[in-house]
Amino acid sequence: MTDLPLHLGAARRHPAGGLDAAGLRAAIAESFRKLAPRQAMRSPVMAVVLLGTLLSALITIAASADKAFGIAVTATLFVTVLFANFAEAVAEARGRGQAASLRAARRDLVGRRLDDAGNETRVAASELRAGDRVLVSAGEFVPADGEIERGVATINEAAVTGESAPVLREAGTDRSGVIGGTKVLSDEIVVRVSAEPGGSFLDRMIALVEGANRQKTPNEIALTMLLAAMTLTFLVVCVTLPFLAGFVGVKLDPLLLIALLVCLIPTTIGGLLPAIGIAGMNRALKANVLAKSGKAVEVAGDVDVLLLDKTGTITHGDRQATAFHPLGGIDREQLRDAALLSSLADPTPEGKSIVRLARELRSRVEDPQQATFVSFSAQTRMSGVDVGARSIRKGASDAIARHVRALGGVVSPELDARVEQVARGGATPLVVADGKHVLGVIELSDVVKHGVKERFARLREMGIRTVMITGDNPLTAAAIAAEAGVDDFIAEARPEDKLARIRAEQAAGHLIAMVGDGTNDAPALAQADVGVAMNSGTQAAKEAGNMVDLDNDPAKLLAVVEVGKQQLITRGALTTFSLANDVSKYFAILPAMFAAALPSMASLNVMRLASPNSAVLSALVFNALIIPALIPLALKGVRFKPASAVALLRRNMLVYGLGGVLLPFVGIKAIDLLLAAIGV
């Protein structure tokens, strides 16, 4: 099998607001398919416009004296509906374009399934079920989503992330999750399948970006209800208007009433609202963040507290042994050899790094012939080896101290000083003991990811407080927190501590975002208002979160927050514009309806439109054209700049409110002049 020819990165390089010719043709075809009644009813505003189009056509055929005017009104209304459908279709087409690149990773894969005896059977990936174990070697594709049960390998995840640089995945760590369709570049791993056919990560991504599972957000639902209420109100007004006009001797043309209704109801925002919601999820994906719902994107715009797991999010997560610190009276070589022996059977990255460092320092210890290795457990917080009469242990300082005292040994006060010295430097101390004698401290260093401090500073400017959560001791946690630039930290945290902190912050009225990658982060990710799981993390974390960061960047929430705020601002700006430009259209339609019977109404014709028919058509044509004109803005979004709510409201009213009032005067007058020039 060959490398993937397409990936998400290619999709992200498409122009922000454009489609290729094929995408444009597909969007146009979809605009007509959306005329189906079930599709039309999803937008109450546009459903009324479509109904008005049908009534206008019937009136033109059956009763209209001016057939040309009736045809023009009907055609304009029909085009208005098509343009609204086109706005939604363009947004969906962009999502399908991104999904097409993901389909390149969904292929007819074959996996080597292992039975309980370790025998291999080659089966199609579609036959694999959750719980199955598969063997994947270098050069092969991972057949299904799962967790590495044994081994370590470098994997090309370009099909999902768009990045060509290989990543390391290893059993027993928070970077053990693998995705079906990605390619193993080195070594051999055993993967336990975690997804049923059709429910893989790629399958869900494809469905989401295509919009098949897109649900309206709470704000979108509220706005839809408002638009429906306004539409119903103006519908009642237009139905009762002929009876009121009868009292002053005015007979209203039904076509004019339909035109008035279409210009009164907020057709602009009604036509663009679905596109705005879809575009929000597409913009998140463009930032390489998979949002499982539009609600998650929108809520991200309002979060004010961010909780981050330290290992794998703030730091690279692979703590490496960097130094041995023997206690007074202990030879450095003695500490080094004991540390090596205690780590020979330790499968963790830390244990392997201790062996590697000891070998680099020329430790001459041979592998013991008869030894009993003791695995690490959460209860003892130690691991080690028993060789003959020797009992060598390494672990947390307090755990080793208890172990030594239980054997009748004495812990030197120097140990606390050594441990504190290592911890203050931001490293993790690991204490080694041989029997009832403490030998010294191993220094394990973790590296803070590049650029994290600057991004956290930007989050602080946006009013978001950052809290680091770690299982490290308070001294190590404080050093890492200072280096990373977070506002607060929680040390020696258990999964229930993370959950309790989130609930406490939510009870205080805060909206919480949580970033994590491990199985122990899953409860907190599920509880948070916005749960961002690292793509490199475990399957449990990715299932619990409502977003997945494909780049594994803990500060990615900065981009997520900006996308969320941009979606809120875009919807508010276009709603303001839509409602404002309706005001101007009244000055075109109302004089045209009443000027003949009530000459005093002619004073309202401030635009000096040529004729009543020209006024109506000009207003309807402008109403139709403004929808496609605003599609690029709906898809790209209004630029977000950190500012106070008052400043944002002022800018919204000046730019989109005042602009929404003035633009129709210019546009309708220009269309009227054009219609007059062609003799309409």
pLDDT winner (highest mean) among 187-201, 209-223, 584-598, 617-631: 617-631
Region 408-416: mean pLDDT is: 89
User: Which residues, in sequence order, are CB contacts of 186 under 8 Å at separation 6+?
Assistant: 138, 153, 154
Q: Which residues are annotated as a binding site?
A: 346, 350, 376-383, 394, 517, 521
User: Which residues, in sequence order, are CB contacts of 484 under 8 Å at separation 6+?
Assistant: 314, 315, 448, 452, 453, 456, 468
CA-to-CA distance for 455 and 484, rounded, in angstroms? 10
Residue with tokens 């500490």: 335
> What letter does residue 315 receive in the DSSP assignment?
B
CA-to-CA distance for 334 and 363, rounded, in angstroms? 9
Identify the weakest region by mean pLDDT among 65-69, 254-258, 434-438.
65-69
Beta strands in 115-243 (DSSP E): 120-124, 133-137, 146-150, 152-156, 167-170, 177-178, 183-184, 188-193
pLDDT of the residue at 104: 55
- pLDDT-derived band at 190, boundaries 50, 70, 90: very high
pLDDT of the residue at 212: 43
CA-to-CA distance for 396 and 431, rounded, in angstroms? 6
- Percentage of residues of the chain with pLDDT beyond 70: 85
User: Which residues, in sequence order, are CB contacts of 6 under 8 Å at separation 6+?
Assistant: 100, 101, 104
Higher-confidence residue of 173 and 144: namely 144
Region 249-271: mean pLDDT is: 83
pLDDT of the residue at 315: 77
CA 29 to chain centre: 29
Region 437-456: mean pLDDT is: 84
Residue with tokens 């000096």: 608
SS3 letters across 238-301 = HHHHHHHHHCCCCCCCHHHHHHHHHHHCCHHHHHHHHHHHHHHHHHHHHCCEEECCHHHHHHHC
Region 493-516: mean pLDDT is: 85
- Helix 557-594 / helix 658-677 crossing angle, nearest 10 deg: 50
Check whether 511 has a pLDDT greater than 50: yes
Rg (CA), the chain: 33
Q: Which residues are annotated as a binding site for Mg(2+)?
A: 517, 521
CA-to-CA distance for 667 and 627, rounded, in angstroms? 13
Other Cβ atoms within 10 Å of 215 Cβ, number:
10
Q: Cβ(349)–Cβ(168) under 8 Å?
A: no
pLDDT of the residue at 490: 87
Identify the weakest region by mean pLDDT among 138-142, 461-465, 469-473.
469-473
Region 648-656: mean pLDDT is: 83
pLDDT of the residue at 322: 86
Identify the weakest region by mean pLDDT among 31-40, 126-135, 171-180, 586-595.
586-595
Question: Whose CA is closest to 433, among 378, 466, 395, 483?
Answer: 395
Question: Whose CA is closest to 97, among 204, 5, 23?
Answer: 23
pLDDT of the residue at 15: 38
Domain 322-445, CATH 3.40.1110.10 — does that match?
Answer: yes
Q: H or E element: which one contains 308?
A: strand 305-309
Q: DSSP of 321-347, one letter per residue?
A: EEEEEEPTT--HHHHHHHHHHHHTT--
Helix (H, G, I), strand (E, B) or coil at 496: helix
How do residues 608-643 score in pLDDT, each as one tens digit? Answer: 777 777 888 888 899 899 988 988 888 888 887 766
How do residues 132-160 score in pLDDT, each as one tens digit? Answer: 999 999 888 888 888 898 888 888 876 56
- pLDDT-derived band at 11, boundaries 50, 70, 90: very low
CA-to-CA distance for 581 and 571, rounded, in angstroms? 15
Amino acid code (one letter) for 272: L
CA-to-CA distance for 109 and 493, rounded, in angstroms? 41
- Helix 557-594 / helix 612-636 crossing angle, nearest 10 deg: 180
Q: Which residues are annotated as a binding site for ATP?
A: 346, 350, 376-383, 394
Other Cβ atoms within 10 Å of 451 Cβ, number:
10
Would you mind telling me the total number of residues written for the chain in this entry?
680
pLDDT of the residue at 348: 74
How do residues 329-362 score in pLDDT, each as one tens digit? Answer: 888 888 988 888 888 877 777 888 888 888 888 7
Tokens representing residue 144 in the block: 């299904």
CA-to-CA distance for 449 and 35, rounded, in angstroms? 51
Residue with tokens 């939510």: 506
Query: 167 forms bridges with which residues in the sheet?
Result: 155
What mean pLDDT value characterizes the chain? 80
Q: Which CATH class is domain 303-314+449-550?
A: alpha beta
pLDDT of the residue at 4: 33
pLDDT of the residue at 191: 92
Known catalytic residues are: 309
Helix (H, G, I), strand (E, B) or coil at 430: strand
CA-to-CA distance for 46 and 35, rounded, in angstroms? 10
- pLDDT-derived band at 445, boundaries 50, 70, 90: confident
How do residues 273-313 score in pLDDT, each as one tens digit? Answer: 877 877 777 777 777 787 776 677 878 888 889 888 776 66
Check whether 14 has a pLDDT greater than 90: no
Question: Whose CA is closest to 527, among 557, 554, 499?
Answer: 499
CA-to-CA distance for 460 and 479, rounded, in angstroms? 19
Check whether 476 has a pLDDT greater than 80: no
pTM for this model (two decimals): 0.61
Amino acid code (one letter) for 414: E
Check whether 318 has a pLDDT greater than 70: no
Q: H or E element: which one contains 569?
A: helix 557-594
Tokens representing residue 249 in the block: 């001797």
- pLDDT-derived band at 10, boundaries 50, 70, 90: very low
Name the residue ranges covered by the structural domains of the chain: 21-96+209-283+562-678, 303-314+449-550, 322-445
Check whether 431 has a pLDDT greater than 90: yes
pLDDT of the residue at 6: 33
Question: Whose CA is closest to 282, among 4, 17, 600, 666?
Answer: 17
- pLDDT-derived band at 5, boundaries 50, 70, 90: very low
